[in-house]
Structure 1
Amino acid sequence: MIYTLPLLAVVAGYLISLFIKPSTSTGFQLLLSFSGAFLLSVTVFELLPEVYTSGNEQVGLFIMLGLLLQIFLEFLSKGVEHGHMHHQEESAKFPLLLLLSLSLHSLLEGFPLNTSTDLLHGVVIHKIPVAAILSTFLIHSGISKGRVILFLTIFAAMTPLGSWLHSSFEALDTYSIYIYSLVIGVFLHVSTTILFEASKNHSFNLSKLAVIIVGIILAYLI
């Protein structure tokens, strides 16, 4: 399940991109808001207590480094991790920098999934709208369909790869607390950006508020 669910999430996102326009679909925007709330809540309820009860004094430093890392990655990815991406003019060039950015992000988020089923669900729910936005961008970017599939396949494989590396190499356990802290920083930035953009223009939206509350409650209860 740890390896298959992230893959299925990317497939689901690709199928969504074929049938709806994610940037204008109300239902999609609600899913994005729910995913941000759920991911943030799981991070606060589960990952944060785990790293801070370790007694390691450098946890806070690595959380902030993770946040800064995600800010840097978004310069390359144009914000697709939080469901936001500008469509550029068609170009046949393969978006290598975008792939590298998303691959590193996905690889890191796979590391702690062995420790929490709830976190796995949070990542999967988050990955579906991200994959839909990414697929829409790639389809309209001018690259061939084969390259689109190649890009999505590599992107989909990175999260399971991170989980596999963590479970297969005991040497990584020595650094797991630092990796988890980096991931927390990444998740905090991504999820709070999603929630901030959900309330852009400071306009009240009852539907988005409702799904955010539901996401928080579900993350707490399960």
Structure 2
Amino acid sequence: MNYLILIGAVLLGGVFVLYKKPNKLYTRLLLAFSGAYLLSVTVLHLLPEVYSHNEDEHRFHTLGILILIGILIQSILESFSKGAEHGHVHLHSNSNTFPWLLFTSLSLHAFTEGLPIHSANDNLLWAIVVHKIPIAIILTTFFLHSEFSKVKTFLFLFIFSLMSPLGYYLGETNNWIQQYHQEITALIIGVFLHISTIILFESSENHKFNLQKFSAILLGILLTIFTLH
């Protein structure tokens, strides 16, 4: 069932663009909410879970380094995806050239997102689901504005939607991934920290306080606090 939820979140975002044409403001607010939710789950669940089973100070140091490496890895991926993971696609439109770097980067990112789901509670699953909807909206809008056909657009979205379930499946069944679960989760924590903080703390328009965005962020944090178990 969780696999279908992850796939459905991406496809739902694409359907929204075709039939509802969501307002940019609502998409930004949903993105802010998802970033706050993802950051809260990372800080309140993933970080304690990684460190709670270790008492070795050297081990703590190693996990910290892996978190920093995760941040760097995501920075590299974003140089290819142009920031699509946190709601920005800055590519030149060209209907004759499929953006393979964007596709590969986002697919790799989505795959790694799925790896820790099996060992986390449902909050991480829903944080990723909520995060994928605005990303799918933004990607679909970009592809259609770039004059890609609907068939090509939804083929991209469908393949993209399979990446997190694939990571989820391997994290659940692969012995090597399970053996190094804490190290892999530390890397993913770095990825999540990078994405969520950029979503939340990038400069607002004219550097003004945005009450709507702040409310969406606060809602994401409070929801995580009151539902985490």
- TM-score band, normalised by the shorter chain? over 0.9
Q: Is the 8 A contact 2:82 2:91 kept in 1?
A: no
CA contact (8 A) 2:177 2:184 kept: no
| 2:88 paired residue among 81, 84, 88 | 84
Post-superposition shift, 1:153? 1.2
Contact 1:90 1:140 in 2 (8 A): no
More divergent stretch after superposition (103-112 vs 143-152): 143-152
1:34 and 2:33 are equivalent in the alignment: yes
Question: In 2, Cα distance between the equivalents of 1:20 and 1:88?
Answer: 25
Q: Which amino acid aligns with 1:209?
A: F
- 1:198-217 paired onto structure 2 within 5 Å: 199-217=204-222
1:72 equivalent to 2:76? Answer yes
1:63 equivalent to 2:62? Answer no
Residues 40 and 221, structure 2, Cα contact 8 Å, conserved in 1: yes
Q: Note the C-alpha offset of 1:135.
A: 1.0
CA distance in 2, matches of 1:209, 1:198: 13
Distance in 2 between residues matched to 1:104 and 1:45, nearest whole Å: 25
Q: Distance in 1 between matches of 2:24 and 2:145?
A: 17
8 Å contact kept, 1:38–1:218: yes
Distance 2:196 2:161 in 1: 20
Q: How does 1:166-177 map to 2 (within 5 A)?
A: 166-177=171-182
Task: Give me the TM-score of the superposition, normalised by structure 1.
Answer: 0.94
Partners of 1:216 and 1:168 in 2: how far apart?
31
The answer for the alignment partner of 1:137 in structure 2 is: 142
Deviation at 1:202, TM superposition (A): 2.2
> Structure 1 residue aligned with 2:112, among 108, 112, 115?
108
5+ residue gaps, structure 2, are none
Structure 1 residue aligned with 2:199: 194
Paired with 1:179 and 1:165, the residues of 2 have a C-alpha distance of: 12
CA contact (8 A) 2:14 2:154 kept: no
Q: How does 1:9-28 map to 2 (within 5 A)?
A: 9-19=9-19, 25-28=24-27
TM-score of the aligned structures, taking structure 2 as reference length = 0.91
In structure 2, relative to structure 1, the CA distance for the partners of 1:123 and 1:87 (3 Å cut) is same
Q: Judge conservation of contact 1:94–1:147 (CA < 8 Å) in 2.
A: no
Could you tell me how far 1:198 is from its partner in structure 2? 6.4
Q: Among the aligned pairs, what percent are the same residue?
A: 48
Partners in 1 of 2:21 and 2:199 — Cα distance? Answer: 18
1:197, CA displacement in angstroms?
2.8
**8 Å contact kept, 1:91–1:143:** yes
Q: Which amino acid aligns with 1:113?
A: I
Deviations 1:30-87 (A, max 9, x none): 1111111111001100001011123233111111111001000001101010011125
Structure 1 alignment gaps of length 5 or more: none
Equivalent residues of 2:113, 2:164 under 8 A apart? yes
Distance in structure 2 (CA, Å) of the matches to 1:65 and 1:20: 39
Q: What amino acid sits opposite 2:164 in the alignment? A: T
CA distance in 2, matches of 1:198, 1:118: 27
Aligned to 1:127: 132
Contact 1:37 1:195 in 2 (8 A): yes
Structure 2 residue matching 1:90: 3-state secondary structure: coil
